[in-house]
Amino acid sequence: MRLSGEAPPIRPPTIPASQPNTDSARQAQACGIAPPLARSAESIVAQPMTRTRCACALVVAALAGSAGLASADDSTNADRSFLRKVVDNRLAIGLRLSHSWLEDSRRYGASGPENGNPHNFLGTLWGLDVEQRAVPCPFLEYRVASIVGVGVSYDETRIKTLDWGTDDNGRTFIAGDGDLRLRGVQAWAFARYPNRTRVTPQLRLGWSHYSSAFFEDPGWAQGGKSFDVQDPSGWFVAAGIALRVWRGAGLDLSFEHLALSDVRAKARLGHGGHKNGEFPVRSDALRLALGYRF
């Protein structure tokens, strides 16, 4: 019962239970505070299938990555195996010392070495002496087959020229005009006879080429005098033995004959004068080498 003129009461609207407020549910789901809306049967079935496909794709990718890594490892191992085949027990490097002497080192006159001998090497120079080096030279050898191979080495020789000189007191002594230096490369092929002992006989045959330089004695070079020299080359042969010391380390002792061409020389004496001559540099040598075979 209400009095006349009195406003009717306001009642809140009612929502049927069979029709949920889908807009509010969607907003709540978007904010992460409500469970997701009901899904269809097809989507429920499709979700496990999608997950299965993703898992299969991940497995395939993992297998492909593993196969790639295995292929890279196999390639690296193949490269290392090839390198071992090329180097192992084939490549040798080391250092060698030499003691050499010239086959033609003196020119004698009627009373022995004479500055005025017309058969001197050049002018007053009647003697040539090899200055022995204490510094070893590097070498490298490669065995192509079980008994043959090739090698290369740096080589250097210094030769002192000799003639008679006189000091301020009139005393005679052995002097010279300077030193001849030869620097070059030796390349060779070698053959060896392997056996069950530590000692292996071997033979080398090769070719040498040297560049020449002359270092004038300061006393002789006064007045603008100088030497011009040419480069020699020639073949050589050597025979020796290789001694296996420990694992890949070994010693090599050999005798070598070096048949180089003569070094043609010109002495420029100043004021346009000059003298020509030749320095014979054919030599023999004993070589001792210490090497390591990989």
Q: Is residue 114 part of a domain?
A: yes
Same domain assignment for residues 28 and 109:
no
233, 206 contact by CB (below 8 A)? no
Greater confidence (16 vs 125) lies with 125
Is 156 found in the same domain as 30? no
Alpha carbon dihedral 65, 68, 73, 76, in 10-degree steps, equals -140
Is residue 253 domain-resident? yes
pLDDT mean over 176-203: 96
Could you read off the pLDDT of 133-164 as tens digits, one per residue?
A: 999 999 999 999 889 999 999 999 999 999 99
Amino acid 30: pLDDT: 47
Same domain, yes or no: 36 and 133: no
Q: Answer whether residue 28 shows pLDDT above 60.
A: no
Q: Based on the fold, state whether residues 253 and 137 are members of the same structural domain.
A: yes
Tell me the residue range of the domain where 40 lies: 21-88
- What is residue 38's predicted lDDT score, i.e. its pLDDT? 46
pLDDT score of 41 more than 50 = no
Beta carbons within 10 angstroms of residue 41's beta carbon: 7
pLDDT value at 34 more than 50? no
* Cα(188)–Cα(265) distance, integer angstroms: 28
pLDDT over 70 (residue 10): no
Percent of the chain with pLDDT over 90: 59
In percent, the amount of the chain with pLDDT more than 70 equals 72
Report the CATH number at residue 127: 2.40.160.20
Which runs of E-coded beta strand occur in 132-248? Answer: 137-143, 148-166, 172-175, 178-192, 199-216, 226-229, 233-246
Q: Residue 49 pLDDT > 70, yes or no?
A: no
Say yes or no: 254 and 170 in one domain.
yes
102 and 224 both lie in a single domain: yes
Is residue 14 domain-resident?
no
| Residues 103, 27 share a domain | no
| pLDDT of residue 60 exceeding 80 | no
- DSSP SS3 for 158: strand
- Residues in contact with 266: Cβ distance below 8 Å, sequence separation at least 6, in sequence order: 227, 228, 229, 274, 275, 276, 277
- Pair 227, 211 in one domain: yes
Question: What's the domain count of the chain?
Answer: 2
Least confident of 30-44, 161-175, 181-195, 260-274: 30-44
Tell me what the pLDDT averaged over the chain comes to.
Answer: 82
Residue 76, CA distances (Å) to 69, 86, 99, 292 in order: 11, 15, 46, 26
Asked if residue 8 has pLDDT above 90, the reply is: no
Same domain, 63 and 100: no
DSSP state letter for 109: B
Question: In this structure, are 211 and 100 located in the same domain?
Answer: yes
List pLDDT tens digits, range 252-292.
999 999 999 999 999 998 788 899 999 999 999 999 999 99
70 and 96 assigned to the same domain: no
